[in-house]
Structure 1
Amino acid sequence: MTEIVYELLAGDELAETLEDLASVLHACVENGASVSFIQPFELADAQAFWANSVFPKVEAGSTALFVAKSDHRIVGTVQLQTELPPNQAHRCEVAKLLVHPDYRKKGIATTLMELLEQEARRLGKSLITLDTRSGDQAEPLYILLDYKIAGRIPNFARATDSDRLDSTTYMYKILDPNLM
């Protein structure tokens, strides 16, 4: 197996990563990932998401964007969103943990989450929150990483490929109880 390299992207690196990031997002949605999009979902839609929704937040410093690369190509990513209201400055949110379907079950998601948590600690955050489609393969991963289930909301989001409404599971992890 080719070595996987992990990076925290800076603003000046974003343009050169657009195609890779779009490819990962597109492949994940095509594979049924519930990450805000429904089919049909074109590569251009994925590019627009990164360029218009994520890159400005990374450039502004309100989102940290981690990537996993294999042979200099991005195969996984996760975002740490840190710009929250003043009464929630102690916490942050996980967004869009994505691993290309061809690279799953290699520990990439786990390592990306560990890096995200290190960054959250470095920033002085004491709580991380996230949501995931209930019953998805990501849910047991988060539990393995010591995230606790706060609750489930039924009929939260439409499935990627049908009109079915899926539940979502809200989860959290207390990073340092002394910072609470």
Structure 2
Amino acid sequence: MTVRRLEAPQLRSAADELADLLTDTVADGASIGFLAPLARTAAVDWWRERADAVAAGHLAVWAAPRDGRIIGTVSLAFPGKPNSRHRAELVKLMVHREARGEGLGRRLLTVAEDAAVAAGITLLHLDTETDSPAEHLYRSTGWTRAGVIPDYAASPDGVLRPTTLYYKRVGTGVDGRLGATDGPRR
């Protein structure tokens, strides 16, 4: 399965396809920051707004195309603070309902983890709805559960649900310290 990184112009061009994936994911009940029903125009706008963050190097987005449409995506968000350049947040891992169970989620996760290592990242973190299908993926790929926050976010149907925080150490650090100019190069 091909997974490709999207630069800002490519992200803008793919916003319609990414919006289809996003609306499908929300319609299926995944708690990824949106309430149902998610209007397609709002989903397109949301993806287009991400292009500036990609151009600035604050966000990296990968997409998995198949048969002329995007069926999966994952992103890494890089914090801008000097004391946090060693970490990134894994965000918006989505797989279209029609492509689930084929290993695409695991493939997208591996791509993001490998890219994080290549960028000098040594710590990844994420949050996901507690007891969601995504939790199995993270646990089975070596992510460590850090804790649960009750009533953290509303599910697409508006019900407050707990969120589980996970982290994963990736890459290697020299001594666990960042110097004044050290940190990942993006």
Q: Is the 8 A contact 2:26 2:35 kept in 1?
A: yes
Question: 1:18: which partner in 2?
Answer: 15
Question: 1:42: which partner in 2?
Answer: 39
Secondary structure class of the residue paired with 1:14 = helix
Displacement of 1:15: 2.4
Question: 2:2: which partner in 1?
Answer: 5
Question: 1:167: which partner in 2?
Answer: 162
Which of 14, 27, 32 matches 1:30?
27
Q: Is the 8 A contact 1:20 1:73 kept in 2?
A: yes
Matched residues, number: 175
Q: Is the 8 A contact 2:11 2:47 kept in 1?
A: no
> Are 2:52 and 1:56 equivalent residues in the alignment?
yes
Identity value in percent: 34
Q: Which amino acid aligns with 1:49?
A: W
Cα RMSD for the two superposed structures: 1.2
Structure 1 gap ranges (5+): none
Question: 1:121: which partner in 2?
Answer: 117
Displacement of 1:64: 0.8
Which of 142, 147, 152 matches 2:148?
152
Displacement of 1:87: 1.1
Q: Which amino acid aligns with 2:150?
A: P
C-alpha distance in 2, partners of 1:12/1:48? 14
Q: Which amino acid aligns with 2:82?
A: P
Q: Is the 8 A contact 2:129 2:163 kept in 1?
A: yes
TM-score by length of 1: 0.93
Secondary structure class of the residue paired with 1:12 = helix
Displacement of 1:127: 0.2
Deviations 1:42-89 (A, max 9, x none): 10111111112x111111111110111112311000001113321111
Deviations 1:20-50 (A, max 9, x none): 1000000000110100011231101111111
Question: 1:141: which partner in 2?
Answer: 137
C-alpha distance in 1, partners of 2:80/2:96? 29
Q: Which amino acid aligns with 2:8?
A: G
Displacement of 1:131: 0.2
Displacement of 1:177: 5.0
Q: Which amino acid aligns with 1:174?
A: R
TM-score by length of 2: 0.90
Q: Is the 8 A contact 1:76 1:99 kept in 2?
A: yes
Deviations 1:97-122 (A, max 9, x none): 01111111111111111010111001
Q: Is the 8 A contact 1:84 1:92 kept in 2?
A: no
Structure 2 gap ranges (5+): 177-186
